Amino acid sequence: MAQPLLVELKKSGATLHVLAPDWVAPVARRMPEVDEVIAVPFRHGAADLRSRWRLARALAKRGYDRAIVLPNSWKSALVPFLAGEMRYGLLNSTLPNSKLPMPVHYARLAGGEPAQPLPQPHLVVSPDEVVQTRNRFGIEQRYAVLCPGAEYGPAKRWPYFGELAQRIGMPVVILGSANDREAAAGIPGKDLAGRTTLDEAIVLIAGAAVVVSNDSGLMHVAAALRRPQVALFGSSSPEHTPPASDKARVVWLHIECSPCFARECPLGHFRCMKEMTVERVLAEVNHS
């Protein structure tokens, strides 16, 4: 979602270094606009003040002209703050949250209103990488990738991936993080949830005939790899975090209480996902 911002910054001739947690750094490494990725081992939710201080002092020696902070958390602003001059608060300037799609919101950080339509995200994967990774995991040449997890919470997780796997008409590969193992359990196919690196998952998605996912990080990876995909939305909104690809098809019932952006259904009925039938999703797969 932030790649259109990088495209805008690159147009000005900037050298772009991306500071990212090591668990997500592989995504940035495959962005052609990025000149260097600085991976850091900060744990999610942890302050790690001593480590951030040491990193900030090291980065200060590089003489960066500008730092752009994407997450809203104060911890994310600490490193550039500690690496720079004293200022009013942690940031010199802020961009208020808006109801714009997140890619547009991020692109505005380059300064001014970005030209529409935004450039679509793009990750680089070679055909040889796909063949080697597919062979390493014993995967057939034509396969579908299913991504049944969603880090944010169960309200984003469609409950019928098992039935979809049985009816999709090709071998199935299930991808996700270790936190998605429960969501992947029992789905027919090659279950690789939590058994690949993120980089391996990116490459396997690049070789997929079609990708079906919830609103998740891997959904955006599939969009950036321009794979035929079907993205399933329940508690969240494709108007806010869309898969930015003309090869993406979205299923969103948009019932009266959706989007609620809750981690779990606050009303207990989970209609936004339970009423999304396998037949509806299969129809989108067949047209992708």
Joined together, the tokens standing for residue 114 give 């970005």
Question: What are 171-181's pLDDT values in tens digits?
Answer: 999 999 999 99
Q: With CA atoms as reference, report the closest residue to 177 among 1, 26, 75.
A: 26
Sorted by sequence, the CB contacts under 8 Å of residue 133 that are 6+ apart come out as: 200, 203, 204, 207
Nearest 5°: CA angle at 3, between 48 and 91?
A: 45
Name the DSSP class of 62: T
pLDDT at 90: 62
Name the DSSP class of 109: G
Please state the domain extents for the chain: 3-110, 128-287
pLDDT bracket for residue 81 (50, 70, 90): confident
Provide the mean pLDDT of the chain.
92
Least confident of 86-90, 145-149, 202-206: 86-90
Kindly tell me if the per-residue pLDDT of 112 is higher than 60.
yes
Question: What are 191-231's pLDDT values in tens digits?
Answer: 999 999 999 999 999 999 999 999 999 999 999 999 999 99
* CB 134, CB 211: distance < 8 Å: no
The β-bridge relationship of strands 229-233 and 248-252 is parallel
pLDDT at 39: 93
**Alpha-carbon distances, residue 265 vs 159, 216, 257 (angstroms):** 13, 17, 10
Q: With CA atoms as reference, report the closest residue to 204 among 131, 288, 120.
A: 131
Helix (H) or strand (E) holding 146: strand 144-147
Best CATH choice for the domain 128-287 from the list 3.40.50.2000, 1.20.1050.10, 3.90.550.10, 3.20.10.10: 3.40.50.2000
Question: What are 241-255's pLDDT values in tens digits?
Answer: 999 999 999 999 999
Strand partners, 232: 214, 251
Joined together, the tokens standing for residue 258 give 């959706």
Give the pLDDT mean for 26-41: 95
Phi first, then psi, for residue 184 (nearest 5°) are -85, -20
Phi first, then psi, for residue 67 (nearest 5°) are -125, 135
pLDDT bracket for residue 85 (50, 70, 90): low
**pTM, whole model, 2 decimals?**
0.89
Phi first, then psi, for residue 126 (nearest 5°) are -85, 150
**Alpha-carbon distances, residue 10 vs 42, 97, 209 (angstroms):** 27, 24, 32
